[in-house]
A and B are shown apart, each in its own frame.
Chain A
Amino acid sequence: GAVVSQHPSWVICKSGTSVKIECRSLDFQATTMFWYRQFPKQSLMLMATSNEGSKATYEQGVEKDKFLINHASLTLSTLTVTSAHPEDSSFYICSASSPSGSSNEQFFGPGTRLTVL
Chain B
Amino acid sequence: GNSVTQMEGPVTLSEEAFLTINCTYTATGYPSLFWYVQYPGEGLQLLLKATKADDKGSNKGFEATYRKETTSFHLEKGSVQVSDSAVYFCALHGSSNTGKLIFGQGTTLQVKP
Contacts and interface: CB of A to CB of B under 8 A. Distances in A.
Interface of A: 4, 6, 32, 34, 41-44, 46, 49, 93, 95, 97, 102-111, 113
B99 A111 contact: no
A103 B44 contact: no
Interface residues of B, number: 23
Interface of B: 32, 34, 36, 41-46, 49, 51, 89, 93, 97-101, 103-106, 108
B108 A44 contact: no
Contacts of B98: 49
A51 to B, nearest CB: 9
A contact face: mostly helix, strand, loop, or mixed: strand
A103 B89 contact: no
A24 to B, nearest CB: 13
A29 to B, nearest CB: 15
A43 B93 contact: no
17 contacts: A4-B43, A6-B43, A32-B99, A34-B101, A41-B106, A42-B105, A42-B106, A46-B100, A46-B101, A95-B101, A97-B99, A103-B49, A103-B93, A104-B93, A106-B101, A108-B44, A110-B42
Nearest to A46: B100
Contact of B99 (A34, A42, A93): A34
A36 B106 CA distance: 15
A3 to B, nearest CB: 11
A104 B44 contact: no
A108 B101 CA distance: 12
